[in-house]
Each structure stands twice: as C-alpha cells, then as structure tokens.
Amino acid sequence: MLKKRVIFTLLYDCGSFMLSRNFRLQRVGDLHWLQKNYNFSQIAFSIDELIILDVTRGERDQEKFCNHIKALSKGCFVPITAGGGIRSVEQARSLLRSGADKIVVNSLIVINPIIIKEIALEFGRQCIVASLDVKLINKVYSVWTENGNRAQDGTLYEWLERLIKLPVGELYLNSIDRDGTGQGYDLAMLDNLPSPMPIPVILAGGAGKYHHLAEGLNDGRVNAVATAHLFNFVGNGLEKSREELLRNGFELPIWNKQIAYELRNVFA
C-alpha cells in the first residue's frame, strides 16, 4: 500500500510568490523572501513533495519560471512538481529539465488532451499530474479553467470520467470555494470520484491547520493532502503538523536526515 503524503504548494506569479483566497491573489514576496522564510532543505523533512504552480495572470515568462524552479530545487531532496499554462511537449520538457520530477496540466485537459498523450508518450504517464479546479454552484460541482475564470460544460463527475481515460498518473483536486479560507477541505467533492479510482488523489483547497490535514488523510479516497497557505505553516508549522500526524498513526514516509544530508553533499 502506498504511504500517504503531505504536499506543500507554491503559487508563482511573474517572479513573486502569492497567497490565494478563492483564486484572488495577493503578493507575499519574491524568491529572496521565500528562501529566507522557507529553507526547503529543512522543510523537505516535513513534506513529501513540493508543487510549484505558475498562476500568472497575463503573459507568462516560461524561462523565468524555470529559473525559479532551478533555484528552489537546489538542496531540496523531495520530488518537485511544476506546472501552469502548459500547452506543448516542449514546455513540459523545459520544466522537467529545470528540476521538476513531474508536471501539472490543467486547462490542457479541456483544450487539447492530445498533447497530454504526447507528453505521456515521451516521459511516461507517471510524470503527469492532472489538476481540476472545482466550484459548487446550485449544489452541483463544476470544473473551471483559466485560473478559475471559465466554467466548463458538464459536471465534475463527467470530467473525472473523461480524465481517467487519459494517460495521467495523479489527480490534484482543488476547491476554489475553500481555497485560502483555512476552513478545511471540501470532502464532499470526493463523492464525485469514480469507484474504484484508478489513480492517486491529491486533495487541495482549505487546509489551515493540522486537523484539516488529518481529516483529509483520514478519508480512504485521499492519497495526499496539499496546502498552499504560506502563513499558516510558516516557521515550524509544517514540522509540528507532520510530527502530530505521525504521532497519531498516519502512514507517512519517515526521512533520515543524516542520510539525506550526506546524499545532498555527494550530488551537490
């Protein structure tokens, strides 16, 4: 059985890192601020994966984004997943060459799923994370693209049925309604998952404290929980949350810091 995971998500916008609430962005700081407040060589022991999403409003600078990934990957031994605005195999390749282990696709699921098949053919389906951003409207869950600005026809359940036919390795299921609120995950979204669900599910949107992470991981349909809230887990917040999860019996990977430091020095 796969161990459960705790994931930290960074939101990037044209050189800055952002807070998001219901997909409305607020600038927090640049790469220097992030490296000062979040030493990922240390934080890596409290998370199992780092996701970096380019949520830039307007024209994206892929080269600049890739340079930020390269900087963040130095000394960070956990897997890095990156995405945002991917429209071609070439864009996926540049992210993977910049230090990402996996890539995230979102709008591509709707506008050109053939490209997803091409990416999988070259790099393998295991390196593709499919992301769906979800809103609850009139008691029906729907899928939104373009940074939550465009509703797609069909229900979440219908989109999930299409998604599992694509060559993707994981699902990142994100609640726009709960995003940045710190009110906990929308577990009712999970009722739309096909049964059985053939790929692992990462639940995102709403985590503000340890209890929310625990609630998400307690659900048997969830393989990993993600948080993008920079302030709720600043300092040793992530470390304390992970310690509490392990103390309460959650099956998370346990990192050997000494071995990790030695390996980092070997490959530095």
Reply yes or no on whether 133 is catalytic: yes
- For residues 268 and 253, what is the distance between their CA atoms, to the nearest angstrom? 23
- For residues 174 and 132, what is the distance between their CA atoms, to the nearest angstrom? 6
Task: Tell me how many degrees the CA angle 168-195-161 measures, rounded to the nearest 5.
Answer: 50
DSSP letter at 29? E
Q: Which residue has the tokens 């390749």?
A: 93
Return the amino acid letter for 31.
Answer: L
Q: If DSSP codes are grouped into helix, strand and coil, which group holds residue 35?
A: helix
Please list the helix, strand and coil fractions of the chain in percent, rounded to the nearest 5, in that order: 35, 25, 40
- For residues 200 and 50, what is the distance between their CA atoms, to the nearest angstrom? 16
Q: Do residues 167 and 117 make contact, with C-beta atoms less than 8 angstroms apart?
A: yes
Beta strand pairing call for 128-137 and 140-145: antiparallel
User: Other C-beta atoms within 10 Å of 124: how many?
Assistant: 12
Task: Compute the Cα dihedral for 25, 157, 171, 7 and give only its sign.
Answer: positive
| Catalytic entry in 13, 48, 54, 133 | 133
The residues that are catalytic are 133
